[in-house]
């Protein structure tokens, strides 16, 4: 390449930053223009330095990667962000991509895969490690959650209004055990674990007012 890709390395571990600098600067296609130990510092660096691609860790002090990605997307939309982390849980992957990350790579990626990923990110191409791509496909292929039954909605409305299980049972002329069963089914369908979260999620989805 005639002009090297300018990379900012963002990670809270100095040893990791040193290693990434060594890998990148061992190839004439890249130049590391700076390092940052957290998301806030990364925003400052991007504001004061010409950067093409940010290699971004996720979990860091002061400001984590997802928040920093969101801020960068708003402040410097031309800068590409490639997540490089040890975390590949569904919530981490989806949050980073929704925030605006161009790609998502794991730290155990081979050197050549990392360099290819930075080049692809620079071109604006989506980059996903095989493990991450598999997780996302799994999310897409998940069957849609079954809709809440009318009785489950009735129970949630009463709970949202402050009713206890006993009070809800009395109003609906069913047992407390049946109320609990309806709540458990609603939790499962809404993807939550407790009453407050179920009511909140039902409100978000417009299921109860």
Q: How far apart are CA 184 and CA 37, in angstroms?
A: 43
pLDDT of residue 153: 94
Query: Where residue 168 falls among pLDDT bands split at 50, 70, 90?
Result: very high
Q: Average per-residue pLDDT in the chain?
A: 90
What percent of the chain has pLDDT above 70? Answer: 93
Backbone angles phi, psi at 109, to 5 degrees: -65, 140
Q: Where are the chain's structural domains?
A: 5-141, 150-204
pTM comes to 0.65
pLDDT of residue 150: 94
> Which fold does the domain 5-141 belong to in CATH?
Rossmann fold (3.40.50)
Q: Is the pLDDT of residue 141 over 70?
A: no
Report, at the CATH architecture level, how domain 150-204 is classified: Orthogonal Bundle (1.10)
């Amino acid at each position: 390449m005639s002009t090297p890709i300018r990379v900012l390395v963002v990670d809270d571990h100095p040893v990791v930053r040193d290693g990434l600098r060594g890998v990148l600067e061992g190839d004439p296609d890249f130049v590391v223009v700076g390092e940052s130990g957290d998301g806030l510092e990364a925003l400052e660096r991007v504001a004061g330095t010409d950067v093409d691609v940010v290699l971004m860790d996720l979990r860091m002090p002061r400001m984590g990667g997802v928040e920093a990605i969101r801020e960068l997307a708003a402040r410097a939309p031309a800068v590409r962000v490639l997540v490089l982390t040890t975390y590949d849980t569904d919530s981490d992957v989806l949050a980073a991509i929704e925030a605006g990350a161009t790609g998502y790579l794991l730290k155990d990626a081979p050197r050549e895969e990392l360099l290819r990923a930075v080049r692809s990110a620079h071109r604006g191409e989506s980059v996903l490690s095989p493990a991450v791509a598999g997780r996302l496909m799994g999310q897409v292929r998940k069957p849609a959650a079954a809709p809440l039954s009318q009785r489950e909605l009735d129970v949630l409305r009463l709970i949202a209004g402050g009713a206890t299980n006993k009070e809800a049972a009395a109003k609906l002329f069913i047992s407390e055990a049946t109320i609990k069963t309806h709540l458990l089914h609603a939790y499962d369908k809404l993807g939550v674990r407790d009453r407050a979260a179920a009511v909140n999620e039902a409100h978000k989805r417009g299921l109860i007012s």
